[in-house]
Structure 1
């Protein structure tokens, strides 16, 4: 029996159903289900996604069996509709629309009024007595067909329409009469001939086959490819093609067309949310060529159809148990539903709708948790621009959206200037790229903008950790440090002038745009009572369900008490990574750190470290207090020492005055410490082995802080983490030193503290020999940022130059610095975990790279049995939800396989 490629629907019946999205696409499955449910749907048929996949795998040819099935379906459509395809006396016109499994609004192509030709329009004019409607439909068809099938630019047709309106001295398309539209058809056909060197096809079957194949081709147009990449939709799904009997919203004032949602997709409110136009076709509403009317007005203009529409859409929502995005047409007071599909919504709306539907007993808590994309939760926490003001602002560039939120402020080109300007108002730090010694400026700024870098660049990682809006890789920026100016899109801005950045979209604007703080953040800060925030109540309830479902713990990457406090408020169960180097860049500490580095002997180094130790100890006490009873993992010094030293003569002179060492000596030492490949150089545990006094000071500060708080009856769980270990002997050296120092410190305080000494697994050799390293480690924490760098041999800071090409050429499916590479780096994580637990059954294992806040990576961590993930504070809700979804998805998979 031949494979079935065509599925019919109509007259209350359908070959398919709503569960067949893989085969029929979302639109086709929705039309089949509505038809089976008795909803008024114009009859038609769906050509399957299998056909599209065949089309691409066989040199853009359709299956041989399709032609007969296609013709049979058209004959059935003629019979059901009582009309003839190409029959001038009683013509059947159809629409041809795309419809993939996942909604891709506007990304692929649609053709309306197909079947129109010179003979049909004459017959249809006589049949309807409405020649204006007929010629309007014909000119729309030629325009769509010419653009979608033959690739003629839309603007060519629009210019012809504009010229005709000027001739007639009218402003709106609707003011053109039948004679005007007939003339436009002639002009369109002439344009078609000029561009294609052939006449517009009069054979309806030829039109239909060309249109069908054009929809298949549109699966791989540039915008569809980009949309799939942004939304992580696989490229091999293919699209279905829906051929459907035309119904006409442009047959006069008793006809209309519209689109809508069963609930508000912006804020989740339970309200009918729709727009419509009378005497129009569907494309008019979405194209914005006319201003649509709000749906309540339809109750006055077309009351019976309005009541029927509300009833049907309410029924559809209850049937699908989710918000529906629907399209409808009214033809001479008869309502027809053209589409229903799951409605896209903002993060705010997604959470509210999920909670409301549980309260309404439409869905279970588990279903609610699976309805919200984890990344959508970031939208609930980020500051937002006032949209009424944003639309009037001047956009000058677009980069990569790396940290969600909105920020406006004065431009600062250096960290120092950012600190200075921030004393008198908000600042946006603008840099070619950022590095660790920009930390104070980043902290002072309300937003960060860089000319180069990707979503895992230093700027992006730190900005997300701080919960600050960030746009990176904005190549249009031309920064001139010498004149403290930047040029972008014909504008030249001086330091101190204002810009605005949108971390949701990557857009950059000249001037300030007012921002509104996130309602949830205001509650967490105590600026708004939780009783006054419905959104916070919904968010808290939803996250409570996530916490009850998940098994994976979620910790935070936090370096200062303020970040730790924010992390706890957002649900962190400890700190998985405290980067101690950031503590050394503070103004009063950096000279001491630099003095230690510049010392020629151990005695002088220890003197400088002794002065630094109290600062470190107070930092750790602050973190421990915020994390009472939860584990705090503190990484010993990691970056190479040259990062702490001056790089210019002016900086060296300034330091010389502070510490009394000649500027030339300082620069010479900085040059001496400079490395050709610092990522693989003298850093991490290698520093602690060559300079053991550094590790000693840090352990003394950690254990000292814990001892002092223990005296105050505050429970502390310190975890000392040794970075960049590749060999078991490296860890043994540092662990022995840590234990000896900890014992001495506890003895001096007369207090006993329980603590752990573990390691970051970020060198591939460490993962491969994890069984050996586990003998010395109390815990593992996979540093997946560096593990990815070393595993791929990619420099994270330079990857932005070639990763986009890798994604475009499909060499990689995902940016491995954004989503963990499960086939390679993930195998190292899985192997390292299993090997470590062969030695120590209950070995605690987590990850602390940026992947800890990526939903797909979090789910992988659950599946391979990790104990926790650690991420930036403002990614914690994302990780909590992803961890819950991992449990629920595993449960569903298990239930399915057992059937």
Structure 2
């Protein structure tokens, strides 16, 4: 004997019924709201999550009682109702209750053509989505009348016979059985592994529930004017007010959207007939319902409707599908109209969605010939011709051609090529690899860790996993948002930095309680940071200033100098260049703090790695090639990341930091003549011991005194330390005695804590995350357990040793909402991130402050 659930399994949706999003799903709750607004919604009952789960487990509801709710002759539909509509769900099934007897009755009242179409549509949906039969046997073309089957009677007979042949039984005639099988099929589909993985990819929890709504059919097919359509009142791409949608006569559900050639416009349109012309009263009612829905449901809704013999019926309403730009425009418009508060407008936007607005994007509707996939390390889209070297990229820029730099991996010497490119793709790397970090700073779309591609730099060939070849000069498109490279030039959408974007961020700034600075290495970066209203520069990596052609030669001369006085002679040539850079930075950021990190990378990064490059260097320095190759070999390190770099260079070759400090102080003096006094912040990189900070501080203080004496101008500065080694975090109390601030560089700190190379981890990181070794890529989302504990230890010990010390995070994690949440709870003063991530950080910080305000 079949068991039924022993308590009431459904609730009729009425204005006062106990319908809850967390129990019945978003669609059920929305239908109740439509009923409360007196919209003409057909009779509907809702099954809650637990009952649908019971159905999947083999405990069906009393479907005969459910059918009785609608009457013996009624046709009904079943639609999914998940908690969040974006999580999806099984396909809706229409016309449940159609059988031979109901078909015969409809033939009498509506005619054979209408009856055949309704019955055939149900058989097709039931066979494919409930009985799981071969879709090709019940393909959509059988629903289309033709010359030898104008009323679909032959198609109907064919479908019934096919069902019986495949199942060895007659098509189900009992409406209660039909409904029971539909409910069981939809419940089990939701519980399946594929469906669970798909909705988890959209952010749904593993145990997300599904409700089902059973609704009386509005036919949409009949002798009088009948049909179905969908209408919305804003443009889903821009968010601007605009009536869009379609209506198709003699149709059901969302048929109008799938057959636009046969559908008509809604509003009056010179291109053809409109619903406003043939059914003006019904159209005006839809417009009225749309306005009412916006005001009372507090969002822009897309309304699904049916016309049944001239009568308007509202079947459903869902949030308008929208781009990020439209989402911002809609939220701001609703707040400005007083429908929602500013706080709610700020909370409605996913911070990461802003990245899509800052750059041109590949049109999501465009066709895609995907040639490679990897990690989308810097968002946005760009089209250009392939180049395989920085030199080729610069040549392409000089010719006025857009180019995409394709490399196995990038190095500091590729920076000029990255500047010249509209996008970058690398075979290796992860979210914090060199290519990823620099591309985000430049606002250039970037893909790293492209799976399966093979690059032959000598022959200038890109080989794809499918065997195709691309050569230098071929056109491709990079989608840094999705991590896909496409063949040819794809259709693009423009960036969307309009008034709504600015307004939303102004509101965000009213609520946030943690500072947001930008990592900016050049005047261009600083201008971008200023444009996005960063509260200063939290990290200026000075080494990037030395890769310009005129400076690189002098830098190499300094590296090859054998005596301190020779090094100083080369550095004297670099001094005015550095000073000019800093003057421009200070002027751009006038009134805002600028934190300058002293020279960090190992010296070999400034030297050529190819035989041809070494020969050119020997000629420029007038040295034997053997001397150049020997010097480069001597500077080569087994593990450069842990070698002679950062403060270690500053102590062993102090002339470098002396020159930089002098340039900073002289620039501060000059820039202060044109506005507010500049108070530069100087940051020492890679410190692990108190004595390192003491030695550098002594020399910098001496340089400051010398500049004060030489210029006759008093100025102040702050000296701090970049905490990027575990020992620095553990000994932060000692180090803080010589530092006015500590800035945690979580890129290197994560590498050293894990013992992982951020450039190589991308090869296996996805496997680690999938198998639960790491919950997330620690180079993408801050590891709050391990690295986070080091940050907390460092912060606590620094505060204990020095009251009022400023604390910040300046790694790429600074633009990540989860990392900002950690920093805010830890009491950090600010976070710093790439200029193009500043808007994301501003919005995320505001949302955290609204959701969890700090005590007064």
> Normalising to structure 1: TM-score of the pair?
0.85
Aligned to 2:626: 664
User: Deviation at 1:192?
Assistant: 4.5
Structure 1 position 591, deviation (Å): 2.5
Counterpart of 1:99 in structure 2 is 81
Name structure 2 gaps, 5 residues minimum: 268-273
1:436-456 deviation digits (Å, cap 9, x = unpaired): 221000101122233343444
| Unaligned residue ranges in structure 1 (runs of 5+) | 84-89, 521-534
Once the two structures are overlaid, the 10-residue window that deviates more, 583-592 or 850-859, is 850-859
Residue deviations 1:157-196, cap 9 Å, x none? 46x555897x9579xxxx8632133134136416744xxx
- Show the counterpart of 1:424: 399
Is 1:185 aligned with 2:188? Answer: no
- Equivalences for 1:624-773 in 2 at 5 Å? 624-712=586-674, 714-773=676-735
Structure-2 separation of matches of 1:782 and 1:228: 36
Give the match for residue 284 of structure 1: 255
Q: Who is 1:404 aligned against?
A: 379
Shift of 1:322: 1.5
Which whole-Å deviations, capped at 9, do the CAs of 1:647-700 have from their partners, x for residues lacking one?
A: 121111111111133333433443443344433333322332333333222222
Please tell me whether residue 318 in structure 1 is matched to residue 299 in structure 2: no
Alignment partner, residue 41 of structure 2: 41
Match of 2:57 among 49, 58, 61: 61
Deviation at 1:380, TM superposition (A): 3.0
Distance in 1 (alpha carbons) for counterparts of 2:579 and 2:812: 27
Measured in 2, the distance between the counterparts of 1:706 and 1:320 equals 55
1:556 Cα deviation from its structure 2 partner = 1.0
Retained in 1: the 8 A contact 2:224–2:308? Answer: no
1:859 CA displacement: 3.4
Query: What's the counterpart of residue 82 of structure 1?
Result: 71
Query: In the alignment, is residue 438 of structure 1 matched against residue 420 of structure 2?
Result: no
Conserved? CA contact 2:229–2:254, under 8 Å? no
2-structure distance, mates of 1:123, 1:841: 87
Distance 1:348 1:565 in 2: 23
Partner SS state of residue 22, structure 2: helix
Match of 1:247 among 198, 211, 218: 218
- Distance change (3 Å), C-alpha of 1:53 and 1:190: closer
1:24 and 2:20 are equivalent in the alignment: no
Matched, 1:493 2:475: no
CA offsets per residue over residues 252-286 of structure 1, 9 Å max, x none?
A: 66222223333222211223332232222325345
* Partners of 2:689 and 2:735 within 8 A in 1: yes
Query: 1:413–1:431: 8 Å Cα contact kept in structure 2?
Result: yes
Over residues 594-648 of structure 1, what are the superposed CA-to-partner deviations in whole Å (9 max), with x where a residue is unaligned? 3333344434333333332322222111111111121111112222332222212
Secondary structure, in 3 states, of the residue corresponding to 2:251?
coil
Is 2:856 the counterpart of 1:885? no
Partner residue of 2:11 out of 8, 13, 38: 8
Aligned to 1:582: 544
CA distance in 2, matches of 1:438, 1:399: 20
State the alpha-carbon separation in 2 of the partners of residues 176 and 439 from structure 1: 68
CA contact 1:435–1:458 (8 Å) conserved in 2: yes
Equivalent residue of 1:110, what SS?
Answer: coil
Stretch deviating more after TM superposition (867-876 or 456-465): 456-465
Q: Output the CA distance in 2 between the equivalents of 1:823 and 1:209.
A: 48
C-alpha distance in 2 between matches for 1:681 and 1:288: 65
Matched with 2:520 is 558
Task: Verify: 1:328 aligned to 2:305, yes or no.
Answer: yes
Aligned-partner Cα distance in 1 for 2:492–2:598: 38
Q: Distance in 2 between matches of 1:352 and 1:481?
A: 45
Instruction: Using the TM superposition, give the Cα deviation of residue 415 of structure 1 relative to its aligned residue in structure 2, in angstroms.
Output: 0.7
- Cα pair distance change 1:440/1:240, threshold 3 Å: same
Distance in 2 between residues matched to 1:147 and 1:831, nearest whole Å: 60
Q: Structure 1 residues 299, 732: closer, same or farther in 2, change over 3 A?
A: same
Give the equivalent residue in structure 2 for 1:376.
353
Structure 1 residues 143 and 827, CA gap change in structure 2 (3 angstroms): farther
Shift of 1:555: 1.0
Q: How many angstroms apart in 2 are the aligned matches of 1:696 and 1:151?
A: 76
The one of 204, 229, 238 equivalent to 1:258 is 229
Aligned 8 A contact 1:9 1:35 in 2? no
**Residue matched to 2:270:** none
Name which of structure 1's ranges 355-364 and 40-49 shifts more when overlaid on structure 2: 40-49
Change (3 A) 1:663 1:398: same
The 1:567–1:692 alpha-carbon spacing in structure 2 relative to 1, beyond 3 Å, is same
- Closer, same or farther: CA 121–676 of 1 in aligned 2, 3 Å: farther
The match for 2:271 is none
**Distance (whole Å) between structure 1 residues aligned to residue 107 and residue 315 of structure 2:** 27
Do 2:230 and 2:254's aligned partners in 1 also have CA atoms closer than 8 Å? no
What is the correspondence of 1:209-358 to structure 2 with a 5 Å cutoff?
209-219=180-190, 228=199, 231-251=202-222, 254-285=225-256, 287=258, 292-296=263-267, 297-358=274-335
2:485 and 2:413 mapped to 1: Cα distance?
Answer: 25
Is contact 2:428–2:759 with CA below 8 Å preserved after alignment?
A: no
> Alpha-carbon deviations, 1:439-475, whole Å to 9, x = none?
0001011222333434443323222211222333433
Structure 1 residue 109, shift from structure 2 partner: 1.4
Q: Which residue of 460, 468, 480 corresponds with 1:484?
A: 460
CA-CA distance at 1:424 after TM superposition: 1.0
In the alignment, is the contact (CA less than 8 A) between 1:414 and 1:429 conserved in 2? yes
The residue aligned with 1:364 is 341
In 2, the alpha carbon distance for the partners of 1:135 and 1:119 equals: 10
Residues in 1 aligned to 2:491 and 2:781: alpha-carbon distance in whole angstroms: 33
- Write the distance in 1 (CA, Å) between the matches of 2:551 and 2:305: 67
Cα distance change on mapping 1:337 and 1:419 into 2, 3 Å: same
| Corresponding residue to 1:798 among 756, 760, 770 | 760
Cα-to-partner distance string for 1:833-852 (whole Å, 9 max, x where unaligned): 33322333322112112222
Which secondary structure does the structure 2 equivalent of 1:780 belong to?
A: strand
Indicate which of 794, 798, 804 corresponds to 1:836. 798
